[in-house]
Structure 1
Amino acid sequence: MSVRARGTLGRFLLTLLVALLALGMPLAPANADPTVGPAQDEPLPVTVNLTKITPTFADSSTPVHVEAELTNTGDETITELWIRLQRDQWISTRAQLQIVDDQQPPYAWAMSAPTSLSAPLDPGDSMSVTLTVSRDELVMYDAGAYPILLNVYGTVDGWENHVGQAAFTMPHADQRPDTPLGVSWVLPLIDQPRRVSGTDVFTDDTLATEISSGGRLENILDAAEEYGEQAKISLVVDPALIDALDAMSDGYQVRTDTGNIDGAGAEAAASFLTRLTDVADTSAIIATPYSDVDAVALVRAGMPEVLSDARTYGADIITDVLDTDPITNIAWPADGIMTDDTWQTLVADGVDTALLSGASYGQEDYLESPLGITESASTVLPNGRAIVADPGLSRLLTAAPQYAGGPVPAAQRITAELAMISLQMPTEARNVVLAPPRDWAPSEQLLDDLFTTTTNADWLTPMSLQQVSEGPPVDRGPLQYPATLSEQELPGNILESFAAPLQQVAELGSAFDPEDTDEALWPTRAALFDAASSAWRGGDGSAVSNGLDTANDALATLRAQIHIVTPSDGTYTLTSSDAPLVFTIENNLPWDVHYRIGIDESRSVGLTAEDVGVQTIPGGTRATVQLPTSVERSGAFTVVAQIRTPDGDPLGNDVQINVSSSAYGTAALWVTGIAFTALLALIARRWWRRHLFWAEERRKRADAQAHQLREDAGDHGQHEYRSDDAIVPPDFAGYDVPPRDEHR
């Protein structure tokens, strides 16, 4: 009988025996999942933490060795403890492995002999256990993977019960694959925005925890330091994180309900940046856009320039702080998905490679061919390449930090997945990309186990993303954008509100020298990037709105730093019609500011002002400027003074001032002159009319006198008369003229 035939018969007999024994022995409940999913409603009283599993890839020569720590988390002492290994049926495909993950099998195909534990386990106490089982006991002969359960039994209150369990998966093959499977690691150093843009104030101190011992970002950096060069790790770094750490390193404040307090992470931040700078010498640093903005949402909202700016500013920050030029031709959109328009926008911005998930090609479980073979990651895109992270491995990496049984079985499960991929076609050169989620929180143990395996196993070989990209591409068809993931995008109606602050940022540019513009407007731009962060995907939009409010506040703060100083008594006094208004301008910014000053004529009366052109005030100074005016009235009146950018856009707030004038303006003089002239004309008219009146009176009197004279002359027979009514005195010679007094 052949070895395989004997093995088959042995498996059958052993399976039959196990089934018979199972009738009288307690097994793991069929509905309890020891690997993934929520906690059971009635958890078992013993928590099992697997601390060592060897080998990671079994063969005919090595028994399965398990070490674990048992902790009594119940209320009763457990006595007569014993343990054993149980395995389920042999697995030959990745799909079967996923079924085991989703629903716990009975683990009844093979069982090892029970191993008694002598000591009882009191509530709250722990004990370490060791168990070594041959592959013959577990009946592991075929190449593939075997789900195994460490089962714990004990007596509680006089009754023997199943009290604890932990599962793991053991890959097995007597012969290793001929061609190593290429493995490329992508580790994210990304956090959600926590800094109030442009300040040293943070909304919380979570980042200090994440970069301190045991924190998620600290653990990732530790792994990059220890394994980065050997494992060819690519670090995807959010420049906003680097910017925040740089601010923290100089000391910072944290908001609390009772006011700001000193942050606790200044020293850790400085150390983190120093270490990351060293890591950049040996590992690839790929820059996300600043705040890891939601590229798809921004492009869909018609704001590709925001995405481009975030990429440019982000790369500059990494260069400045880490003293290294990051890789900018590789883009990793949120959730690993993007639209065709987003890709074309990125291409126009210099990107030629996209790191995507399988969902971009309708493969949400595995990157498999129609024949069920996992294919390499490289894919052709128009004007570039896509590197597709294996979705099955990404799913396992996501679940690993919460894996039941601890980080050791979690790493072992990922190892089993890699082994299954390799065993599919052991002679074919292929590769996979492992890309955990952006907020991944692995333990140090998990990372150590994963990188120890992927860097030392002879059936695996590390590859860089560049090497993966350069490999033979797989045709996966056009990009797909799942509707379920599109619903996670930032709300378009809120993104539309970005238009106003973006316009103001553009308008304010003319107030600064070109070399100062970016720095002066940075807090506003950073706030907009924070508001558009992909960290807010799937939320209710409140974080986006809050970020938008921060951007508007930053704009208002910037404008207020350059303003007209209101007079101490609030009044200007002008003593002549062309007396200038003298204003004091204050610039609290550290940069020179170019501005115009003038009067809002629509809200001002009594005077007009000349345009004095563009003025410049140095940073951190006060200056006076004279505004020539033309006074149009005397007395007290109100005018509104304005300070504007050279392009006419508002800077500081408008200032309403009171003006007291004791002089007539040009218009007033004209009015007075015209009135005086009219008065003279009236006087002249009255004089002339009076002149005509008295002339007429004199004529009438003369006529009366002449008439009287004629009458008198008629009596004496002597008179003269001229037709022009002139009175010609008669010749009174020979007449006796009475004296004048008598004549009257």
Structure 2
Amino acid sequence: WLRRTGAVLAGTPLLAGLLQLPAASPVEAAAPAAPKAASDDGSVAVSVDSLTPGAPAEGDTVTVTGTVTNTGKKAVTKAAVGLRVGPLMDTRSSIDTVAKNSGDVDGPVGSEIDDKYSEKFSKLAPGVSQPYTLSVPADELDLGQDGVYDLSVTLTGETSDQPWEQTLGVRHTFLPWQPDEADTKTRTTFMWPLISTVHMTAETGSDEEQTPVFLDDELAAEISPGGRLDRMVALGRDLDVTWVIDPDLLASVEAMTTRYEIPGENADDKNAVGGHQEVAKRWLTEVQRAVADKEVVALPFGDPDLASLAHHGTSVTGSLRHLKEATDVASGTVESILHVKPSTDFAWPVEGAVDPSIVKVSTSAGADKVIARGDTFEGGRDLTYTPTAPRPIGGGTTAV
């Protein structure tokens, strides 16, 4: 079997409707981080460091914090930091435009909020930074229908060579507004893989117990406290994730809970007895706790490389039959060790790369959903909305 050789540490996020995750802060989700460098168009750099709450409701108070820095050569007098609310932005292009021109003092900045919510500085010397905090009741923002609004922080003031009030700095950010509960929430999932490379061989000891023999003892390091697989379990335990597990990994660790052997350093040496039984027992217990009541996907046993099989292995007699057997044994292995019933109808080619031959092989073992990279599909790049992750690709198969 050709296998994934890279042990995946980071999971894959999908708008898949499989599990509900706590939503990211709307400021994080909707707004690119505003650059803090000075704008070419203004003599005062304005930063927006926080906006709370990220998506206010009626009755909330919106608080914006940041700093203003005089990057010019003249002192700014009668300086005032205030908030302005622009129009509803209902397309990606309008949001992109605001993001690209976040510090443009000549661009539109919307309607000014009541002056009583501004913060004033009598003088802002060159090179000097001042923090600001602006708080305004959401009801005073005069927001209309649900959506994302352009919220800008402006610094107005005068200089000795231009002694009249003018906008000297601006920073745009985004304010999601949805006072009422949504009828349908966007659901997301995060695929969290417990996958490793091969560690246990097909060889067994010559004793009556047929003691399993491992290639090496490196798996013990991965499941020991602080090891990669130990950290994956510890991190994923408190998250709403979909666990994607190679049953071969579970079977290998379970084999380590009793007597197992590893080859000696030299070819003529006898096999050494492994000594990490307690580590294996502890890790399996932690995995059982982590996946309880969670969605679990079992990959075919051994996590075979579906792309290599599709492109180079179908001519090998029995290769697809072995893939079906690897899928059939996956569910029983996971259920017997973790005491949860997994899904086996997902296929995950390496890095989510798919083509018709990979899809054909992936579904030959019973999967009807294939995890795919988003750039596999041309459609959707120019859409003004985010399409759902599942895409029907024919023959009853769904690419996710």
Alignment match, 2:191: 187
Instruction: Indicate yes or no: 2:105 matched with 1:105.
Output: no
In structure 1, the residue matched to 2:245 is 237
Which residue among 313, 336, 344 is the counterpart of 1:302?
313
Distance 1:139 1:265, change over 3 A: farther
Shift of 1:335: 3.6
Q: TM-score, normalised by structure 2?
A: 0.53
Q: Distance in 1 between matches of 2:173 and 2:234?
A: 27
For 2:62, the equivalent position in structure 1 comes to 64
- RMSD, matched Cα: 5.0
Unpaired runs of 5+ residues, structure 1, are 1-21, 29-33, 35-47, 71-81, 117-127, 153-165, 225-232, 255-262, 389-744
1:449-460 alignment runs, 5 A limit: none
Q: 2:175 matched to which residue of 1?
A: 170
Change (3 A) 1:382 1:25: closer
8 Å Cα contact 2:194/2:245 also seen in 1: yes
Closer, same or farther in 2 for the Cα pair 1:189/1:252, shift >3 Å?
farther
Report the secondary structure of 1:318's partner residue.
Answer: helix
| Alignment check: 8 A CA contact 2:102 2:173 kept | no
Distance in 2, Cα, partners of 1:240 & 1:221: 21
Q: CA deviation at 1:300?
A: 0.8
Structure 2 counterparts to residues 244-393 of structure 1, below 5 A = 245-246=253-254, 270-278=281-289, 280-290=291-301, 292-303=303-314, 304-305=319-320, 307-308=323-324, 310-312=326-328, 314-363=330-379, 365=381, 368=383, 372-388=384-400
Aligned equivalent of 2:238: 222
1:84 and 1:210 mapped to 2: Cα distance?
48
Separation (CA, whole Å) in 1 of partners of 2:247 and 2:64:
43
Deviation at 1:137, TM superposition (A): 7.3
In 2 relative to 1, CA 279–196 (structure 1 residues): closer, same or farther, beyond 3 Å? closer
* Letter of the structure 1 residue corresponding to residue 148 of structure 2: A
State the shift of 1:202 in Å.
1.0
Which has more strand, going by share of residues?
A: 2
The answer to whether the 8 Å contact 1:84/1:113 transfers is yes
For 1:455-493, what per-residue CA distance to the aligned partner results, in whole angstroms no more than 9, with x for missing partners?
xxxxxxxxxxxxxxxxxxxxxxxxxxxxxxxxxxxxxxx
Give the unaligned 5+ runs of structure 2. Answer: 1-40, 68-79, 122-130, 156-170, 202-213, 263-273
| Superposition map of 1:721-740 within 5 A | none
Counterpart mapping for 1:12-51 below 5 A: 23=42, 25-27=44-46
Map of 1:145 onto structure 2: 148
Q: CA contact under 8 A between 1:299 and 1:342: conserved in structure 2?
A: yes
Whole-Å separation in 1 of the counterparts to 2:65 and 2:252: 42
Q: 1: CA distance between counterparts of 2:120 and 2:257?
A: 54
Q: Secondary structure at the match of 1:328?
A: coil
2:199·2:219 contact (CA, 8 Å) conserved in 1?
yes
Matched residue SS, 2:285: helix
After superposition, the C-alpha distances for 1:662-707 in whole angstroms (9 at most, x for unaligned) are xxxxxxxxxxxxxxxxxxxxxxxxxxxxxxxxxxxxxxxxxxxxxx
Contact 2:42 2:104 in 1 (8 A): no
Alignment deviations for residues 469-521 of structure 1 (CA, whole Å, 9 cap, x no partner): xxxxxxxxxxxxxxxxxxxxxxxxxxxxxxxxxxxxxxxxxxxxxxxxxxxxx
Q: How far is the alpha carbon of 1:308 from its aligned partner?
A: 4.2
Classify the secondary structure of the residue corresponding to 1:289: coil
Instruction: Check conservation: 1:347, 1:383, Cα contact below 8 A.
Output: no
Determine if contact 1:194/1:203 at 8 Å carries over to the other structure: no
- The match for 2:36 is none
Q: Which has the larger radius of gyration?
A: 1
State the SS of the aligned residue for 2:197.
coil
Contact 1:148–1:168 (8 Å) recurs in 2:
yes
1:278 is displaced (CA, Å) by: 4.4
Q: Residue 188 of structure 1 aligns to a residue in which SS?
A: strand
Return the alpha-carbon distance in structure 1 between the equivalents of residues 192 and 104 of structure 2: 36
Q: Which has the higher helix share?
A: 1
**Alpha carbons 1:83, 1:114 under 8 Å: kept:** yes
Distance 1:62 1:202, change over 3 A: same
Partner AA of 2:46 in structure 1? L
Give identity over the alignment, percent: 18
Aligned counterpart, 1:655: none
- Superposition deviation, residue 353 in structure 1: 2.7
Give distance in 2, aligned partners of 1:331 and 1:200: 29
Aligned to 1:593: none
Distance (whole Å) between structure 2 residues aligned to residue 191 and residue 67 of structure 1: 43
Q: How far apart in 2 are the matches of 1:354 and 1:295?
A: 11
Offset from partner CA, 1:389-421 (integer Å, 9 cap, x none): xxxxxxxxxxxxxxxxxxxxxxxxxxxxxxxxx
TM superposition shift of 1:317: 3.5
Please name the residue that 1:581 is paired with.
none
**Alpha-carbon distance in 1 for matches of 2:96, 2:81:** 26
* Structure-2 separation of matches of 1:265 and 1:171: 52
Q: CA deviation at 1:273?
A: 2.6
Find the aligned partners of 1:83 and 1:210 in 2 and give their Cα distance: 48
Correspondence 1:382-531 to 2 at 5 A: 382-388=394-400
Contact 2:83 2:153 in 1 (8 A): yes
Residue matched to 1:661: none
